[in-house]
A and B are shown apart, each in its own frame.
Chain A
Amino acid sequence: QVQLVQSGAEVKNPGSSVKVSCKASGDSFNTYAINWVRQAPGQGPEWLGSIIPLFETPIYAQNFQGRITITADKSTTTAYMELHNLSFEDTALYFCARGGVRGSYSYFDFWGQGTLVTVSS
C-alpha cells in the first residue's frame, strides 16, 4: 500500500517562494510519477506538473512553466514542489498524488493529505 505524507501548512508573503514535500512509502517510488495538484477554495483541482523519480525530468503544466520546480530524492523517497513569485491567487490546498500507471500522464490512485498554502501580506 502506498502512502504519501506531505509537509505542514505554510503562510507566505507575496513574491516569495514555497516548497512542499511529499514523502512516499510503499512500493515503486522510482517508476511511477508523483504529481502535484492544487485546489483553490471552491474550485476544481488543477494539475501543476509531475516527475518520475527514476528519470528525474519533470514536466510542468503550461500555466506554471518558469514559476515551478519539481524534484525528487530517490534516497529518501521524497518529492518536492517549489512555487516561486507567489501571489494571492496561489492560496490553495496543494496535493501530491501518484500516477496510477507508469508514464507521465495518468489518473491518480494515491494522494497525500494536502498542504494548505496561504499567501498573505
Chain B
Amino acid sequence: DIQMTQSPSSLSASFGDRVTITCRASQSIGTWLAWYQQKPGKAPKLLVRMASILESGVPSRFNGFGSETDFTLTIRDLQPDDFATYYCQHYSDDSITFGPGTKVDLK
C-alpha cells in the first residue's frame, strides 16, 4: 500500500504569512493527489485535485504543486478562515490513502 506522510505535523503562523505544507508519497503517484481543509467537527473540504487544480470557489491564495512523490500546498497571505488542519489524499486504481494532517494555528 502507498503511504502518505506530511510535514510539519503542526505550524504556527500569523495573519498575512505564507505557509507551505509538504506531502510525500512512499512511491510515485503521478499527480493523483488532492488537498483538503478541515475544521473541528466538520467534514473535510476539497481544495485541490490532480495535485495543482484549484477547486471552484477556492481562493487563489492556495496553490498546489508537485508530482511523483513530492507535493506541496502553499497558502499565501494567511487569512483567519485558513486556520485549520490540512490533509493530502492519494487516489489511484487500487487505493485511497490520506496523510496524517498538518494543523495550522495562530501564533
Contacts and interface: CB of A to CB of B under 8 A. Distances in A.
Residue among A62, A97, A106 having the largest count of chain B Cβ atoms under 10 Å:
A106
Given A44-B87, A44-B101, A46-B98, A108 B46 contact: yes
B89 to A, nearest CB: 6
Chain B binding surface SS class: loop
Interface string A58-82: 0001100000000000000000000
B98 A113 contact: no
Interface string A87-121: 00000010101001000011111011110000000
Contacts, number: 50
26 contacts: A43-B100, A44-B99, A44-B100, A46-B98, A47-B96, A47-B97, A47-B98, A61-B95, A61-B96, A95-B44, A100-B46, A100-B49, A105-B91, A105-B94, A105-B95, A106-B91, A107-B34, A107-B46, A107-B91, A108-B44, A108-B89, A109-B46, A111-B44, A111-B45, A113-B43, A114-B42
Interface of B: 1, 34, 41-46, 49, 55, 87, 89, 91-101
Interface of A: 35, 43-47, 61-62, 93, 95, 97, 100, 105-109, 111-114
